[in-house]
Amino acid sequence: MQAPATHQSKPYDPVASRVRGFGTTVFAEFTALANATGAVNLGQGFPNFPAPDFVKEAAQQAIAADLNQYARSAGQPRLVQALAQVYSPLFGRSLDPMQEIVVTVGATEGIFATIQALVEPGDEVILIEPFYDSYPAAVIMAGGRPVYVPLRGPAQARSAAEWTLDMTELAAAFSPRTKLLVLNTPLNPLGKVFERDELTQIAALVQAHNVTVLSDEVYEWMVYAPAEQVRIATLPGMWERTVTLGSAGKTYSVTGWKIGWAIAPANLSYAILMAHQWIPFAVSTPMQEAVATALEQSKARGYFDWLGSMYQAKRERLLAVLDEVGFTPIVPDGSYFIIFDTSRLDVPVPAGERRDVAICRWLTREVGVAAIPPSPFYSPAHQHLTDNLARFTFCKTDDMLDEAARRLQRFKHRS
């Protein structure tokens, strides 16, 4: 009798093509390297200092109150109400907490759910380079096609504001298939805060092409005067076509809590909810209650202003170190990151490795200060733009920033 046919000639390969091309994120790689080598981690953006007591106490109370069961899918009523209270004045409209806000598992899920909700297979999504690394991944997983437009700055740029979009280049990136433009202001990793005039020009283009904007504003409270946070959703005709994202992780120094939110008109919020209900269904109940308490108290406590001032002082501290050791910084107007110039370092670059990656591995291993290479924030065609750049974060204790400064002193007297 003949044996039944087997399929052994086809190798076992269970992985779907939509994830096969993905490598480990640059943040996971460099935090693991920093941990393994004992480096001071100025790489991955997470605060190493405690969260505010009033925020932690709110979480303890939520746990003690046995708020243990599934939350409302679009977000706990108390949290969406607190968000509406905080954001209504900032958006210049009375936000409907039950219909215009969706609470997500960090802004990361807000990005994923929004793109799942709005992007059809074959649709194009305009991404401004440098981009946060989850944007192209989320577009690809939705079957969409990222279209990249780089910010361009003079070679000797000293300030993030000098990096601008060529509006003709941006206009040329639109096609009949363009569905979405992703904006990030303040922008990770450059710290650029888009100015009203730039946002007005972007708004005119998206309106002319009937495109939606996903505005990732997770660093909204880390904007350094005279720069100011302009929300594209508040420009004429833009509320109707904008999804704005925020994150408690950044605002309350609790990146591990993974609480974020999307604010958008009811039709867009409903579409995001339709995706979100099948991704996590709902978000951690006690942590939502804690963030609700935090938001309810923040204004009276002057918390948002305190956060901005605290980070501004850390920005000055790290800028001074970079200037002193000759790693010319590009001064950020927002976020907790600084891009700096590494061209004075003469470090061998292994074949097949990008220079910025080699430099950041070397800084981590040999100098004991971890940095993030910016090339993963660019499409392959534009990665050469970051060969001489690296990113530090300053969301760390002054002690840690001072230890990094001590380790970097060896570069001080080298020309």
Query: Which of ligand GLN, ligand PMP, none lies near 332, with the C-beta cut-off 5 to 8 A by kind?
Result: none
Total of residues contacting ligand PMP (CB under 6 A) = 13
| CB-based closest residue to ligand PMP | 106
Alpha carbons 134 and 317: distance in angstroms, whole number: 29
Minimum distance from residue 414 beta carbon to ligand GLN (Å): 28
392: which 2 tokens?
A: 């530090």
Binding flags for ligand GLN, 165-204, as an x/- string (CB under 6 A)? -----------------------x----------------
Place of tokens 């007297």: 413
User: Are the C-beta atoms of residues 299 and 88 closer than 8 Å to each other?
Assistant: no
Residues 10-29 touching ligand GLN, rule: CB under 6 A, are 25, 27
User: Are the C-beta atoms of residues 361 and 34 closer than 8 Å to each other?
Assistant: no
Nearer to ligand PMP, 27 or 362 (CB): 27
Number of neighbouring beta carbons within 10 Å of residue 186: 27
- Listed ranges 106-114, 194-202, 207-215, 405-413: which one lies at the site for ligand PMP (CB under 6 A): 106-114
Bridge-based pairing state of the strands 260-263 and 101-104: antiparallel
User: Are the C-beta atoms of residues 190 and 330 closer than 8 Å to each other?
Assistant: yes
CA 109 remoteness from chain centre: 12
Among 216, 289, 333, 356, contact with ligand PMP (rule: CB under 6 A): 216
Among 242, 244, 247, 383, contact with ligand PMP (rule: CB under 6 A): 247
Which residues partner with 147 through β-bridges? 126
Binding flags for ligand PMP, 35-74, as an x/- string (CB under 6 A)? ----------x-----------------------------
Question: DSSP letters of 339-385?
Answer: EEE-TT------TTS-HHHHHHHHIIIIISEE-B-SGGGS-GGGGGG
Among 29, 41, 45, 95, contact with ligand GLN (rule: CB under 6 A): 45
Q: By CB under 6 A, tell whether 332 contacts ligand PMP.
A: no
Total of residues contacting ligand GLN (CB under 6 A) = 5
244: which 2 tokens?
A: 């704005």
Report the first-to-last Cα separation within the chain, whole angstroms. Answer: 81
**Sites of contact with ligand GLN (CB under 6 A):** 25, 27, 44-45, 188
**Sites of contact with ligand PMP (CB under 6 A):** 45, 106-108, 132, 184, 188, 216, 218, 247, 249, 255, 260
